Each structure stands twice: as C-alpha cells, then as structure tokens.
Structure 1
C-alpha cells in the first residue's frame, strides 16, 4: 500500500522576530531597525496566526508533511510557527543561520511522525557576491514508514532589485551552487538518490540561471537519463497561465519545485506525482488584482495589512512511497 507525502514551499514574507529581540544578530540590528519599527509581539502573533490559518489548507487541505520556507529571521520564530500549526501536527525545525544582510533565512519544517532528519547531514551554502547573501539549505529526511531517504534543498536566490538583467549574475552563481550540491549528492549517495529542490528562485523556468546553470530542464527524458545530472523542472506548465508572484499585473513563476532522476524512475521507492503539482493561489491569499495579499510591516502603513499573508503564493507537490 502506497503512502503519499505533501512537499510544499512558501516565501512567507519577512517573518521577523520582535523589534527589540535579544536574539537578533548584532550585525543586522542597525540594518533592519527602521523597517521593524512597530513590529511588536501583537504584530508577530498576528502574522503567525495568518500563516498558520493557511498552511494546513495546502496540498488539497491535507497540509504539508514537509514545508520549506523563506524570509524567516531565526529558529525562534520558526519554532513559534511550528507550534502555531499544532496540535494535530508535530513539526520539527531545520535551520542554519545565514549571512544575508537583512537576516532572512531559508528553513524546513517536517512532520516528526512521518520523517526523521539526519542532523549530521544538514548543510548550508552562502551565495557570495560582494558580500554573503541568501543561502541554500540541504537536509536529508528518511520516512518513518518505509525507511526511504529524500534529500531536500531549500533555496532563496538573490532578488531582482536593481534590475533583472543587472542582478542576473548573482542568480547564475546561485544556480551553479545548486548544481554543485546536486552533483555532490549523486556522487556521495548514488545516482538514484531522491532529491527535491524547492524555493523562491527569483527567476523563471526559462531563465539562464535555472536552465543553463542549475541544469533544470523541461525535458523529462533528459533528466531521467542514467548519467543525467539535470533536475526536471515541471513548473514550465504554468507559464502564461498562472504565477506564484504577480508583478505589475503579470504572473511570474518564481517559486518552483525541481526533482531529480531518483524521483522520476519507474519502480523507485519514492516517486513524484507530477499531476499534483500546484501553485496554491488560494482565494484568501489573493488581492483583487490577483497577486499575493501582503502582510507588510507597520513601518510602511500604506502596505501594512494585518489581514494579509505574504506577497508570494505557496507551491506544492505530492511524493508517493511504494
């Protein structure tokens, strides 16, 4: 009898600790002080409650068994988010402190009833331009029921601020780093290893950073070749019809899920169910113009909406275990 697991990713938009948090790294304290004016316990609690109201609705109402997140400040707010998702779930937290200038990290929540995490196989790689920026987080999960392993890579690539063309080299560097992670995992664990990369790539499936440098192909046959080191990128199907992020009324597929050969092979212990792939643009998350309903910050009153959630939509897919 097969078992299904929902894997999801969401850029939760600036999930910061409170403005005067003693847990804040000194290197970012002055950098983000202005934007966190008014970000007190009541605001943080409201933000967590809004996220926790939506996350259980993902995956067709089942909720994610594994959830990658971006734009979280520290392990403390992650723990609070995990607690807010109870009592029906017992989520563990995987987090490595990053070096981003604003202190926003990527992380992973996983259902401890369904998965274990090898704490010796948690890695984080910073993407360096002139200074370190957002990292790629790698974690190895093993299913409790079947004892099968899947490696998850959570990404948040450098933004398009300053212009998509001008900032592209930084995302190319991130793509090279992800490809390196992929290659090393295959070398260390074997060519049939199940690997799932998720994240906010700040580029679309057709951009060079993904196609040429991360080696994320739209051709399933290329990714399933026995010697392939390419990811399969099924997100191409959404281009022109849906987006995970809407900019100036135009949908952009920035948040994506990539899968390795090990999740595509017929008869593999873990296989991706491509038909379940979804951009979770739930009605509550959408503005009247179709974009994500931002929560924002009190320091920017015009865009602060305590009934909002985040400016990106989550993405999800189901993985089946034989």
Structure 2
C-alpha cells in the first residue's frame, strides 16, 4: 500500500494593473499634473481621489481570488504619481490587513507617472531593487523622457525571482511613428535579462507591464525571441483584451516569463495559467462602451470607475 504523499503545494498569483492616472490632488510644479487638481477641468478633488483608491483596493484584492482564495502576492502597477498615492492604496480598506508594501522610484517621465511593485511582506522578501533608465532620443538628439524600468529581486518560499515592471512609450503620436521607442524598451529589457542570466543561467525572470503593444507586435516578438515565454498570446481576441480603443481590443498589459517556469519534471516553481481579470463589476454596464473597462475619466468627463485597463494575472505553484 502506497504511503500518502506529504508534499504540499502552495499557489500564488502575480499581477499587473495600469491604474489610470493615480494622482494626488496637489499641484507639483515639477510635474505636468495640472489636470489633476481641484481647480482643473477634471475637478480632481479629495472625494474623487478617495473613491478611486477604494475602487482600486477592492479590485486588487479580487484579482485571482476566485482561483486561489488570496489576492496577488506581487502586483506591478503603472501610472502612479508618487509614494503618497501608493501609501494610501495599500492602506485602503480592502488591502490594509493583507500586509502589502511597495517598491517605488520617481522616474523622469514628464507627466510624473511611475511604475511600482506592491508585494505581501509575509510571503515575498525584497533583496534588491533598482530603477533602470530608458534613454530615448528624438531625431535631433534631445532626451525623450519616459518611465524607468523597475527591477526588483525578491524571494518567494526560498525561490529567488527577478521582476521587471514596465510602462513603455505610448502610441499617442501614432503606433508606427513611435514603434522604435518600444523596440528600444524591449532591447533594454533584453540587456537586463542578459546580465541577470550571465550571473545565473537558471535565474527566474518575470517581465510585466503595460507595453503599449500587443503580443504580436514587433517589440514583444523581439523580446520573447530571447528564450522567454509569453502565455498571453492566446488571450487577445476580437472580443476580449485588457483595453479597448475605438471598438477594438488590445492586450497591452502582459506578463512574460523565463522558460524555466514551464519545466515539467523536477520543477518546484511552475507556471499554471494566465488570465485577464475582467468581471462585470469592472466594466461599463450600458451605452456604446458597454463591456469596456469602467474608467475614471473619458476625456475630461468624470465616470468614477477604476481604470481604462483590466488587470492581468498569472498563477504559479510552489511545491514544498
């Protein structure tokens, strides 16, 4: 008779969420944040800020909860103005008892929006952190200021893991005319991962972010061509994505990983699946935008929603 297995498997989710302009209400003369003050057209006041914090906290707590009954162990975020808004977020009613802390650096982005990493301190231990500058230049050699790449090295159940949080240059001036900027961002991620692997060929790496490109775009294909796996390639369809622009779905928000998460045998830290978190509570419930992410603003019109992006997440198992 076989003895019952004593092996225990824990499940964790890693998530990413673009928080859509999580600004405080104060005017910072060093940033282009004038739209997010009480006297601006958007009338960004404390009441609206508190509602957004509450909405985002509730959403983060729910990500992946139906799968493993726990909120994400780590979650990369984009479009946060400063440490203050992150402090308020982790102190929100839904998150304050979950032990979230965060890693954040001020970036040179002209709008003052940064990336950050939230993590549950009882499970994930940060051992190193750095902001990696993405040095972009325009046609006359002037600096094009954009978000840094946040590189956090941490330990989850004795397993070291490198996490790169990205928010690549936007398509605002047109996807083709700005494509070279995202290719440069992809190349910078490749440089970081190459350096990591030079020190440890077996390093586990997760690259997450709002890439402002889809899984099939040249920049993402260039990135995953370097022994990385993108489980999100199959998630973008005609009917589903992480954001919707003029009636068309995109999947700019992605979680990409090193292939050692896929190994079947002798692998105690394995990738299981990736999903878009898009329950009805995060969508617009009527009108021409029905089913789209329920955003905070559309233009200057206040809607009071969470974000113009859906979060994405990946589930992993660790065998004790």
Matched, 1:320 2:305: no
Aligned to 2:295: 294
Q: For residues 40-89 of structure 1, what are the alpha-carbon distances to aligned partners after superposition, in whole Å with 9 as ceiling and x for unaligned?
A: 22221111011112111111343211111000001111111011143430
Higher helix share: 1
Q: Secondary structure at the match of 1:160?
A: coil
User: Per the alignment, do residues 184 and 89 of structure 1 end up closer, same or farther by CA in structure 2, a change over 3 Å counting?
Assistant: same
Which of 83, 94, 101 is equivalent to 1:92? 101
Aligned to 1:251: 249
Aligned to 1:140: 153
Aligned to 2:171: 160
Query: How do residues 1-322 of structure 1 correspond to structure 2 at under 5 angstroms?
Result: 1-20=8-27, 24=28, 26-28=29-31, 31-36=32-37, 37=40, 38-61=43-66, 62-84=70-92, 85-118=94-127, 120-129=128-137, 130-143=143-156, 146-188=157-199, 190-212=200-222, 214=223, 216-217=224-225, 229-240=226-237, 241-266=239-264, 267-274=266-273, 277-287=274-284, 288=286, 289-296=290-297, 301-302=300-301, 304-306=302-304, 308-322=305-319
How large is the RMSD of aligned CA atoms in angstroms?
A: 1.7
Structure 1 runs (4+) deviating above 6 angstroms are none
Tell me the distance in 2 between the aligned counterparts of 1:191 and 1:73: 35
Aligned to 1:225: none
Shift of 1:115: 0.9
User: Per the alignment, do residues 15 and 270 of structure 1 end up closer, same or farther by CA in structure 2, a change over 3 Å counting?
Assistant: same
Shift of 1:15: 0.2
Q: Is the 8 A contact 1:7 1:316 kept in 2?
A: yes
Q: Is the 8 A contact 2:204 2:260 kept in 1?
A: yes
Tell me the distance in 2 between the aligned counterparts of 1:127 and 1:283: 40
Normalised to the residue count of structure 1, the TM-score between the two structures is: 0.86
Normalised to the residue count of structure 2, the TM-score between the two structures is: 0.87
Q: For residues 257-280 of structure 1, what are the alpha-carbon distances to aligned partners after superposition, in whole Å with 9 as ceiling and x for unaligned?
A: 101023222323321113xx1011
- Higher-Rg structure is 2
Shift of 1:5: 1.1
